Every structure is written in C-alpha cells, then in structure tokens.
C-alpha cells in the first residue's frame, strides 16, 4: 500500500513541488475536458487530486472506475491550482495534487444516502448505517470537539488537585428514581448486578476514604423513557469534594465552565454566574431551568380575580391556586386561529385552556371581558402594563402545574416571535430547591434530587412536621435553558440519613438492605462533603449547536432504545439463559 506522507488537510502553497502520498475516500468525481478531478477526503480535510491522461494514461484509465466512497491511495506532485480555480472554502483550496500513482485499496457499494451535511434522510436509515453517517463533516466535527472536551476537563481537574478514580460498572441495585439496567449473575442464580445510574454511593464512600477531591468522566445507565436530550447510556463529569459547602462546589464548577469556554470557544467569561431561587424561577419562568436569553416573564394576577365576576378564576384564587399569564406585543399574526392553536397546545399539556385579552385603542377585548367589572379591567391593564396591540394570555389552576404549562408556552411564544438570541450564552445557578415532592401515585414523599441530599440547616427541625417546606442544599447549573449540571451537599451523618429515609417511607430494614454499606461508612468519620455531575453529552450538544444528543454520540440508540446498526437488544440462546438460571417470558403486544 502507498502509505500517506500527509493528510488531506495538510497541504498548502508552501508544499508546491513536493512529492506526496495521500490516503482517503473519494468524496466526489468530476470529468472536465479530459481531466478527472477528485476531492479526496479524510477526517483532517479535503484535497483535490487530478488525473491527466497525457502524463499517465494508465492511472487515468483506472481513475475512470472510481466512484464515491472508494478508498484509495495516490502519490503525486503538489501544484498551485490554475488562476481563478482556487477554493477559499477549503484550507487546501489553493493547491491540487497531480497524480502519478493510484492504488484502489477498497471499492465501495453505492451508499444508501449521500455523505454530506444537511441531507434529508430518515433518522432510522442514518442510524442503521451509522458508520457512513459518521463520515459527514458535521458529525466528525462534533466528535472531534467531544475529544477536545475530555482533555480540557481532565487538564482543569488535575490542575486543581482532583484525583481521577474509576468506580465499578457492576454494582448493587438501589432503585430510587429511574429503573436500573440489571445484569444477571451466572455464579449466583437469582441475583443481579445493576449498571450504575450514577457513581453516587461510591463517590461518597471515596470521601470517607480520604480522597477529598475526586472526579471521573463516567458512563451511566438509566432504563427510562427517552427524549432528544436523553439516551439509555450517557456520560457525565462526576465531581465530589470534602470539607466544603455549596459555594466551594459551585466555584469549582463555574471555573470549569469558564475554562471550557476559553479552550473550546475562545470566549472569556469574566463574571460570576447569577443565582436564582427555585421559587423565583418557577414564579417568573415556569421552569427550574429557565432560559434567560430573552425577557418574557410570567406575570401574576391572582389578586385581581379573587372576588371578581369571572367565577372560574375567583374560585381558583380562593382555593389557593394561581392566575398568571404572559404578555406579548402582537406582530399582527395572532388571529383567532393561531390563538386557538395555542389553546389546544395548553390543553394537550393538561391545562384547562387559555383566557386571552387584546388591548385595542385603550380597551380590553376578549371572550371573558364581559365577566369583568370596570375596576377589574382597569386593575388588569395597570398590573400588566398593557399597551395597544398587546396580547395577554392567562391561565389559572394549581400553582406548580399552571406555572410549568406557562413556562412551556413562554418558550413556544419566544420561538414564534424570534425572541431567542442563538448567539448569546446565559449562565445561571438555580438554588433552594424543595427537598421533597409528594408522589400522588405512591402516596408518599419522594426526593427531588436523590435521597442523599442534605436539608438546609435552617429547615432541619421541620423535616417531620412540615416536609413540603424543607429546602435542599442542592444547586443546578443552567446554560441557555438547559440543565447542564446538578449537585448537592450530601448527608454525612447516619442519624440524619435515617431520618430522611423514613420521610421517604423507606423503613430502617429496607434502608439497611439497600444502603447498609453506605450507612455503615457514615459511622466511621465521614467528612462533610458535596459534589456535582455535569451532563457531558448535553454539554457537547450545547457547545456544537447540535440539534439532538444523538449527533454528539458516536453510536447512539433510537428514541425507543434500539441500536439499529447492530440490532441490540437481541435475543440470546436457550443455553445462555439456562447458564444464567433465567427463563425468557414474551410480553403480549
């Protein structure tokens, strides 16, 4: 084989006259006036190569057989491209290689789709032929940036005295949240390992062991319903620190983000990230991960309707619910049909439907105006600061659900109105989360983050008497409306951990069975500690501007957790099942 001396992204005008050898894939093929031009591609770039029948007829004849995605090796001389034919879009665009030797290393079948960016092909087809899809510039650049990010993270962590330690992939099943992926034991029939949803318990035990600064870029697994930003297996930057409080963990994390932006985007971030309480985020943005790149905030009008003529809103206000809304300047496109579509959208999310008002020549218009008294109308105009052509959408109901629906509507309206500046990055810490949330299905409290999160000291005495009011020592990092990292100060005393387990309706016996190893460790001088985990895939997605998390993972699964390329998950033989002591039971569809 002709072994390459340069990559397809190396050659420049200073290489003119040199004899070189290139290896790569045929990107495209053109015959111009008896000369054959080929763009030869590898992951480093593209170089134009030329076959001239007058200088080497044998190579020219062989080149006529070339087609897209053939793998070839060529040797030749670097020339300056003829005047007017340079390609400024390519780093190699001022030169070409006149070929005097051609070796076809492997022909290619006609590919099921063109290897180029922005090709309109079904996602399923691209995932089935992922090895071809990965030849596209967009995906290759995403994975190259991902590789750089590994290095940036490790360099920062090592420079800040963190120790990289690998934790087990086969661990004890401790389901408290998403489902575990289970791995049957061949040696102990009826017993199972679990793939880690997080190294949470192991990294806490490392703190007990005296490794006061730990990190790991780790693969985690959750058997949960998927979305565009989730996969059954994902990667996170896992960090844990001893003898710290929230500010210490947040400072390390913030500086990591600044290092990433400097190295990856050449952007200097010279400010501290603002902080917002969960309550403020919910009340103003209807989300615990608010997108603050635009200034459309939720407004509250509960007091306006408390004793008013519109009975539906009055009842909601009197029963402790909220009446809130969003005001936009109508660009002339919000006719009745468009408003009805917004109403349908709200109903599809479990809302009762939108009330709406339009300001027209100083007067309120809308379907429920007739139910309002003059004082209510004036108060509504005053509180909303309504101007002519403004539209006000109102929703009433239980506080959290109502505000979350308005938060989703806020994002939808921002997209419709073009309010989001895609070139702007906003950074935000959300703090003071409720520690617990009531699960109506199971009729018990559940941990909002995880059961190892410490309550805030000021709320400790209310843990049993007013559990819903207890705030967690938890913090989430939000960038451009995406939760990029989440963490907390952990419980480091056994007695407090037992209290929290009891609040979660986990008995002492169940806690000992599931978490006895951790509970025991807390009794042997566990230091105060806390940590955070960054969603590595989401971070890459955000840095590249990718549309889906699948675009930044080499071999992703579909939204139904299938690997179309290799057929996973697949059936296994009866012999394998017998060895594991298992019987496969097929579900009826």
**Segments of the chain scoring below 50 in pLDDT:** none
Q: What percentage of the chain reaches a pLDDT higher than 90?
A: 83
Give the DSSP per-residue string, 106-161: E--PPPSS-SSTT----HHHHHHTHHHHTTSHHHHHHHHHHHHHHHHHHHHHHHTT
Q: What are phi and psi of 531, to 5 degrees?
A: -165, -170
What six digits make up the tokens of 10? 């190396």
* Measured distance CA(445)–CA(439) in Å, rounded: 6
In terms of Cβ atoms closer than 10 Å to its own Cβ (0-12, 13-18, 19+), residue 187 is exposed
Q: What are phi and psi of 460, to 5 degrees?
A: -60, -40
Q: Are 175 and 195 in contact (CB under 8 A)?
A: no
Structure confidence at residue 278 (pLDDT): 97
Tell me, rounded to whole angstroms, the distance of Cα 435 from its chain centroid.
24
Q: Are 145 and 260 in contact (CB under 8 A)?
A: no
Q: With left for phi above 0 and alpha for psi between -120 and 50, is residue 415 left, alpha or beta?
A: alpha
Structure confidence at residue 65 (pLDDT): 93
Q: What are phi and psi of 215, to 5 degrees?
A: -150, 165
In terms of Cβ atoms closer than 10 Å to its own Cβ (0-12, 13-18, 19+), residue 118 is exposed
Structure confidence at residue 563 (pLDDT): 95
Q: How many residues does the chain have?
A: 589
pLDDT, one tens digit per residue, over 431-456 is 999 999 888 887 888 898 899 999 99
Alpha helices (H) in 40-95, listed in sequence order:
57-63
Structure confidence at residue 440 (pLDDT): 80
Strand partners, 75: 21, 101
Residue (of 533, 536, 569) closest to 553 by Cα position:
536
For the chain, how long is the longest CA-to-CA vector?
94
Q: Are strands 95-106 and 45-51 parallel, antiparallel or unpaired?
A: parallel
pLDDT, one tens digit per residue, over 378-435 is 999 999 999 999 999 999 999 999 999 999 999 999 999 999 998 899 999 999 999 9
* Residue pointed to by tokens 């134009």: 48
What six digits make up the tokens of 462? 């209310």
Q: Are 309 and 372 in contact (CB under 8 A)?
A: yes
* Measured distance CA(534)–CA(554) in Å, rounded: 19
**CB neighbours of residue 321 within 10 Å:** 17
In terms of Cβ atoms closer than 10 Å to its own Cβ (0-12, 13-18, 19+), residue 94 is middle
Specify the DSSP element, H or E, that contains 428.
Answer: strand 427-431
Strand partners, 395: 324
In terms of Cβ atoms closer than 10 Å to its own Cβ (0-12, 13-18, 19+), residue 93 is middle
């Amino acid at each position: 084989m002709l072994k390459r001396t340069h990559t397809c992204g190396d050659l420049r005008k200073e290489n003119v006259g040199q004899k070189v050898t290139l290896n790569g894939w045929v990107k495209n093929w053109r015959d111009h006036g008896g000369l054959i031009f080929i763009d030869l591609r590898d992951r480093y770039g593209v170089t134009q190569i030329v076959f001239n029948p007058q200088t080497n007829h044998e190579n020219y004849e062989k080149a006529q057989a070339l087609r897209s995605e053939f793998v070839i090796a060529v040797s030749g001389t670097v020339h300056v491209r003829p005047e007017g034919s340079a390609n400024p879009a390519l780093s190699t665009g001022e030169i070409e290689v006149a070929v005097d030797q051609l070796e076809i290393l492997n022909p290619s079948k006609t590919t099921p789709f063109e290897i180029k960016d922005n090709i309109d092909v079904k996602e399923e087809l691209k995932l089935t032929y992922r090895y071809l899809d990965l030849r596209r510039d967009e995906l290759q650049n995403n994975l190259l940036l991902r590789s750089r990010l590994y290095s940036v993270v490790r360099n920062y962590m090592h420079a800040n005295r963190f120790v990289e330690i690998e934790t087990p992939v086969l661990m004890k099943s401790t389901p408290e949240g998403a489902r575990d992926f289970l791995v049957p034991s061949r040696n102990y029939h009826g017993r199972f390992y679990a793939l880690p949803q997080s190294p949470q318990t192991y990294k806490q035990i490392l703190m007990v062991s005296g490794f006061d600064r730990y990190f790991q870029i780790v693969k985690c697994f959750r058997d949960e319903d998927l979305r565009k930003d989730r996969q059954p297996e994902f990667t996170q930057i896992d960090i844990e620190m001893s003898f710290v409080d929230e500010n210490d963990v947040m400072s390390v994390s913030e500086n990591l983000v600044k290092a990433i932006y400097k190295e990856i985007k050449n952007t200097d971030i010279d400010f501290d990230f603002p902080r917002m309480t969960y309550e403020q985020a919910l009340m103003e943005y209807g989300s615990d991960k608010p997108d603050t790149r635009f200034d459309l905030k939720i407004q509250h009008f509960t007091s306006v309707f408390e004793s008013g003529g519109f009975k539906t809103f009055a009842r909601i206000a009197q029963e402790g619910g909220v009446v809130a809304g969003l005001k936009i300047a109508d660009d002339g496109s919000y006719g009745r049909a468009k408003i009805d579509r917004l109403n349908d959208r709200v109903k599809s999310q479990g809302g009762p439907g939108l009330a709406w008002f339009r300001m027209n020549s100083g007067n309120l218009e809308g379907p429920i105006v007739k139910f309002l008294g003059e004082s209510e109308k004036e108060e509504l105009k005053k509180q909303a600061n309504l101007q002519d052509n403004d539209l006000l959408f109102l929703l009433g109901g239980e506080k959290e659900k109502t505000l979350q629906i308005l938060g989703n509507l806020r994002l939808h309206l921002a997209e419709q109105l073009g309010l989001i500046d895609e070139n702007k990055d906003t950074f935000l810490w959300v703090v003071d989360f409720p520690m617990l949330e009531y699960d109506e299905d199971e009729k018990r409290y559940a941990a909002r983050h995880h059961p190892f999160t410490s309550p805030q000291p000021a709320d400790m005495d209310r843990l049993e008497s007013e559990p819903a009011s207890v705030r967690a020592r938890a913090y989430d990092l939000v960038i451009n409306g995406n939760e990029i990292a989440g963490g907390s100060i952990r419980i480091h005393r056994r007695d407090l951990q037992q209290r929290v387990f009891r609040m979660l309706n986990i008995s002492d016996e169940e806690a000992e069975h599931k978490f006895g190893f951790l509970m025991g460790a807390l009794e042997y001088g566990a230091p105060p500690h806390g940590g955070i985990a960054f969603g590595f895939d989401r971070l890459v997605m955000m840095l590249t501007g990718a549309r889906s998390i699948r675009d930044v993972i080499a071999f992703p699964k579909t939204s139904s957790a299938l690997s179309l390329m290799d057929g996973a998950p697949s059936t296994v033989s009866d012999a394998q099942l017998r060895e594991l002591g298992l019987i496969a039971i097929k579900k009826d569809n």
